Each structure stands twice: as structure tokens, then as C-alpha cells.
Amino acid sequence: MRSAARLASVIEILEKVEDENLNIDHLLIRYFKQRRYAGSKDRRQIRERIYRIVRNRFKLEWWLQEVIEERYTSRLLVLSDLAFFEFCSQSELDEIFNGAANNPERLSQKEKEIYQALVGKDICHVKMPTNVKFECPDWIFAKLEPVFGSELEKCLVGLGEEASLDLRVNALKKITREQVQILLEKFDIKAEKTKYSPLGLRIHSRRRIDQIKPFRDGLLEIQDEGSQIISMLVDAKPGMQIADFCSGAGGKTLAMGSFMANKGRILALDTSLTRLDKAALRIKRAGLHNVERRLIGGDADPKLKRLAKKFDRVLVDAPCSGIGTWRRDPDIRQRLNRKNLEAMVQVQQKILIAAARLVRPGGRLIYATCSLIPDENEKQIENLLKKRNDYSIVSVKEIWSKLDPKIKKWHGMVNDNMMRLTPHQHGTDGFFISILERLH
């Protein structure tokens, strides 16, 4: 594909994002499956440009609103991206937007004027609102400000940066991080040890880990370090009965299973058969034999009544707004709205109440989200404690100190016995974790 054809593809994909309100990664996979002629270079450049536009979309839209009064289009977003990041001359633009087959249509006089009004300017303008400058919806900015205070801008910068690729070494395979590092080097993959998880490795380059032998052999799994930390804080031990209430594709299920050395049981619960089927493949590859998958119809499923007070640990990795994952899925910022959040909060409340029934006296309920706002985190814990006087908060710091004697390096991470992880402080995705113990 020529550069003009790649640009036409970018415009087409952005239009589909608008029309179908889909996750960009899923849309890109579908788009390229239908266009096998696109080579690896084409796919990479199309992907990079789309993500650059998405990561800067609030600023690009702000500039377009300054220049024109009518609603922007995907074509204008691409044009403004060229103005701020590539500084094309008019002759170069005319060559790209030439109207030939598979190329973008010719620029109108108005589009040329818009481009000239933007080219050469700094994308961050002094009049630009702070939330726009840091690519955050104003209503979410208002919710994050009381949480982070003067650290908010740093937090948003971290959420706007491209994420690393984190791996977890499979403890079941009796292999060390150092040995896996050596194996990865044979595939020209340089991995560094993560700061907090003793099983984590981090790769800063974009690589297809799922295609190499160590991955296919189950020696490692793709898992953000923050997610690994949550799995460790469950403190799953051999012989325990564990319920992973919103198990999804099984990332935390796999980690907990490896800590249990295939002794005891993990019940992976989810409302999606597709996700449970994906988990089955990962479970087999990891060498786990103590995981049972079970499809449920939701938090009110009658099957859950038979599970009351049966589990030593119940993990609720609740569905959430995903604010903590913006660096991986920057398009979430455009798709999230107040109505979505309100509905999500209601779902979380119901899930947490249902999951609390499954914990045996003396057992623990672990609540986690990849959100950073109190509505989905602290307030959910407060709400549960008002309804259940048989639960009390357990200090996350106390639990971690038993898992890792180097507790001092966690300074500043735990507030009011709960934990909040952020990209700018810890290099992980954004997470919230709270642990409760059932008293009777």
C-alpha cells in the first residue's frame, strides 16, 4: 500500500469507530482480516497513526472547534494530525489527497484553509482547558481531582502514555525469571524484571509473544504487573477453595492456580461462555488441573445459593469503567459517559453483595477494579459494609508485608488499608484493591 492508501484506510477505520462504537483493537483485527493484501508495514503504520489520533483526540477536536464551527469529521481529524505531527507542505498534501483509486478524495478549499490554520502550531495551547490538555473528559476530571490533587496531571500523563507489555512467569513450571529472560533473548526479546511482582517481566517493544515457544509451552502468560499484584494479594494457598467471581478469560485464575500448586480448587465464574472458553485454552496450556469453569446467569443466578459460605477466598475483579487502562485502550475515553458509569456502579453493587455470600467465616473477599474513581471503589466498599456487619476491612499493607518483606518500597501506595496503583507511580495499569474478612 502507498502512504495515501494507508491514510485512506485510517479515515475509513475512524469512521467505523464513530459509527459502530467499537473497541479499536477489535475493529483493527476485523479490518485487516478482510484486507489480507495489507502487509505488516502497512498494518503497523495504520495502527500507529490511528492510536496517535486517539491519544490526542481531545486536543485535536479542541483545535478544530477553534477553527470551524461545524462538527468535525474523521477526515478532519486525520488532516489535523498531519498538521500537528508531520507538517506536510501543500504540494505533499495534494499528492496524498489526489482522489485516485484507494486514495483520499481531493481537499476542498475549506479543508486547505483549516490545514493552514493549524500547521506549525503547538498542539497544547495556553487557552486549552486542563482536562483537554491531558485528554480527560471534564466530568471524569472532576471525579479524579479530589483523589489525586496536585498529582492529577502526572497521573493523566501516565494514563496517556503507551503501555509496556508485562509477562508473568508460570510458577507451576519450576522455572525462574532469569531462565525465562535467557529464553526470550533467543527470540531477540529483551525483558527486564518488574519492580513489585517477583514473577513479572516487562518488555518495552511491541512483540507477538503468543507466537514463540516459551509462551506456547505455558512458561509465561501476558499479564500486567498490577493484575499480578492483585492475584498475589488474594493470598491463595494450596488446598484452599477459591472463587473467581468475574473470571473473564482467566488471567488472575491462572496466577492463583499456580500459587496453589494444583492443590485445592478454583471455581471460575463468568456470565460469558466465550470468555470461559478462552480461559479453558489458557488453563490447559498453563498445566492447571484444579480449575472448574462455570457459566452463571448473573448475580441472581440460583446456582450461587448452593455456594454460600463455601470459599476461603472470593475474588471480585469487577466490570468497570476501565479508566485505569486508558494507556492500553485510549478510545475508552470517548466511549464512556455518565449513563454507562451509573449502570456500571449498580452492577458492581449487586456483584459485590452476591459474592459476599460465598465467603466462609474467617475467609476473605477481595474487591478489585481497573478504575481510579471512588464511585467504583471506596464507595462500593462503604456501601457493602453498611449492609453487611459481618465484614471488616483487612489492611492490604499487612497482607503484602507477609508476602514481600521489602515492604518499604510500597511507601505511599496504601491509604486507609486500601491500595491504588497508577502508571505514573508504579508503572502498572491503574487498579484499586480492597480486602475484607468475614467475621461470622
Residues 194-212 pLDDT 10s: 999 999 999 998 888 999 9
CATH number attached to the domain at 225-438: 3.40.50.150
Lowest mean pLDDT across 23-37, 303-317, 372-386: 23-37
Q: Which CATH number fits domain 3-127: 1.10.940.10, 1.20.1530.20, 3.30.530.20, 3.40.50.1820?
A: 1.10.940.10
Backbone angles phi, psi at 282, to 5 degrees: -70, -40
CB-based contacts of 340, cutoff 8 Å, min separation 6: 321
Nearest to 73 by CA among 122, 27, 114, 118: 114
pLDDT at 410 over 70: no
Could you tell me if 306 and 356 are in contact, meaning their C-beta atoms sit under 8 angstroms apart?
A: no
- Taking residues 106-110, what's their average pLDDT? 94
Tens of pLDDT, residues 141-193: 999 999 999 999 999 999 999 999 999 999 999 999 999 999 999 999 999 99
Provide mean pLDDT across the span 254-276.
Answer: 96
- Indicate the domain borders of the chain: 3-127, 165-222, 225-438
At residue 41, the pLDDT reads: 86
pLDDT for res 406: 60
d(CA 73, CA 61): 10
d(CA 101, CA 355): 57
CATH number at 165-222: 3.30.70.1170
